Structure 1
């Protein structure tokens, strides 16, 4: 048998599916998080102040909660997509912009659903990650510490982590957000958007799933420390809900 050796440019194998430029891998989730955070930080105070245009825009966004961006053409151009386009300008090698659009769209529409009818508190709060929010909700429901791991709410979070399609993730997140809305537990939608961007890239999916599980378990440790600190100081913890549209998200959304 004669073996022919190929040389030159044709010798390089084609890149594997879902490969991406190394230089864009790290900043991409941060840009997605920043676009989402910038949009919500601009809209949330206006909604809380009952500005008619903001109220109307959130009503439109809610129709897209749990859906994919292409399924709701009426929402093209709102919900953070313009902010995303502005941030992506000049990033010609940005990996999978469609992943970014889906992540921003899903996070923004879920926030609009979460914020519905709540004018006293913003439902976007930095630092309240998905696993921590579910843990908080479980405790508000009165579950004993020994029962938290077996809670149906924890199982809902597990269902998000085991979903195999973005459609399933969207629907399952919508179910959790409705429960968070009922208990007025906020969520960090900028961080979530960055995670959703990474989740769509198959090699990064396991890392996002681990983050959601780690957030849930670390929330238990954090709550215990806060309870001890509160007992020692005799005062509760203060939450700084200040939002700035121009805030630098850094590596925050990448789970750093």
Structure 2
């Protein structure tokens, strides 16, 4: 019997986009991201995943983005003996499982709204080093609890495929709260351009869900203005990653010759 996913809110439904992208990638040769667990999860869920076959750019971009953040988290854990990793809007991601023994001694906190955490628990029990937190990421109670529990830790906060669905004011407040409470922490996230943020209805994957983009930014360094403690360290265009050609020749040509397309999705 498959688990029903038909009662999700609009933004929560977008978690099925990256899940299906990772599952679909397991049939590619060579595979850009090994995630057999994603395949298992897709088979357990009652949802129309097939519609995302209409979204080749997102299917490729999401996989490249996931591989990038895997590498970021792997390196962060390697560099810090007292590392703590926190994922905001974690959905049905499986990073902790993908990285396996490399991060087995590092605490991971996976935060999402109660409806998603409840759904996740039905499908996937947390690993020994994982803690699920059912909370809106904009609330501060969970932040204060982590502060008290890990007073000497170095934190990495990962926000993957999340910020674009919330208002600039909400995102600014979130970053300010994190900067105030977690000195020396690293914030890793992805953003879309202002141009792309106007395109929910023609975006290849998001248009297939009820969700709408609310936030886009063209100057990533401007995020420093959200709080005095924030320091911009650099960003990369997802379309510049090796493997983007998987999206198809039209999208590959687009990133080659049209800067507005090339910079539409970035990791920071």
Query: TM-score surpassing 0.5?
Result: no
Pick the structure with more helix per residue. 1
Pick the structure with more strand per residue. 2
Higher Rg: 1
| Larger relative contact order (Cα-Cα within 8 Å, sequence gap ≥ 6) | 1
TM-score (norm 2): 0.27
TM-score (norm 1): 0.28
